[in-house]
Structure 1
């Protein structure tokens, strides 16, 4: 149980100092009875704003990242968070991506304000699977499958070998790759290791979550 203004500010509806004005301008209710006192305490499930329940206290979002967007809070340019509703951008703690995708990579990315869940899904120890489709500059050869799955590939600048990865050759210049790590530019560096260059990269899925039903820039909430 928390104060009304604490809920509204943490969930991004307004700042704590704006709460009184927010209650005047919006239909904020506790058990369907409108309130104007920001210090009243209630349970999350009892509160509604303009006839809708409060957003969940913790969010997990699946987003289909478009090309040209940056997975950062601070960089210049088009930030991935700008694709989300403004009040989600205002939440405290902030919503952050679980891992990152390069600016020119499209596809599945998860975002959350649940720090424990973020750590669980991004930690290399948990071997969370991610599937990519890569368009390559040069035709693929069958020997690359064994190289990627060997568990012996050491990328330039690294000391430890990558965990085994599963590669399927869809056609001579298109590969589907499953990895369980998320090193910096990993997929591009893996193909560079075998003398090839990724021209286009799309993440099909992260863990069990796919973006087949989402257009670029669209998102949906996932039940935690």
Structure 2
């Protein structure tokens, strides 16, 4: 692949804009030598304004999503893509969220441009654990853990029972919930089915990936070796 196309596909600009960047000397190798559009270099050898290029297709990153931000590229209000460098929204193939967190849910959100990886993570067949901490309007009754683990709980307007889920009380009105599927507003609807109401929801991990001190609104790239922990059995927080 020609360097102009490679760098344009990473979202640094249109092909015309990237061609201009070559003429301006902004594309170099690791030693600072200016590159030309028809040069041949390995991805890891190329620098843009002195910095290594973003990873090629197969990129995965994590974001500590704040409250009040929507998991959409086009919507009203603040969008998750606005928290990332603009070039990430211009990549080809496109970067997508791995599932969604609603506007009033914070915490770990993954992005990838690898469609197969995205579908593998969200598929119930993969049984990837998604762990949430919930703040509730009412005290826990004490029977919620058995109800959620039963595999018989059916949400309103649905026909198929939920997969067994784990619940660990963290206080009278706080709980850690572990899900292995991702139905619409599932955590909130589960507590509603148990006669309670979620007033705060935060996702702390997906498989073996956790926020690891990432501040609210901050993001980082996820290494390929880290992604393997997503599918590790028993990796829930």
Work out whether the TM-score is over 0.5: yes
Q: 1:108 corresponds to which residue? A: 108
Asked if 1:18 is matched to 2:28, the reply is no
Higher mean alpha-carbon deviation, 183-192 vs 83-92, is at 83-92
SS of the aligned residue for 1:34 comes to coil
For structure 2, which runs of at least 5 residues remain unmatched after alignment? 225-237
Q: TM-score, normalised by structure 2?
A: 0.89
TM-score by length of 1: 0.94
- Could you tell me which residue of structure 2 aligns to residue 3 of structure 1? 2
Contact 1:97 1:111 in 2 (8 A): yes
User: Does the 8 Å CA contact 1:108/1:211 hold for their aligned counterparts?
Assistant: yes
Q: Secondary structure at the match of 2:201?
A: strand
* Pairs within 5 Å for 1:185-196: 185-196=185-196
C-alpha contact 1:137 1:196 (8 A) present in aligned 2: yes
Q: Deviation digits for residues 6-64 of structure 1, max 9, x if unmatched?
A: 1111111111122221112343124643123x244433233222222221103211110
Segments of 5+ residues of structure 1 without an aligned counterpart are none
Q: Larger strand proportion, structure 1 or 2?
A: 1
- Aligned residue-pair number: 222
Separation in structure 1 between the aligned mates of residue 26 and residue 8 of structure 2, nearest angstrom: 16
Moved more, 114-123 or 144-153: 114-123
Change in 2 beyond 3 A, CA 1:46/1:64 = same
SS at match of 2:145: helix
How far apart, in 1, do the equivalents of 2:218 and 2:87 lie? 17
Return the offset for 1:208.
1.2
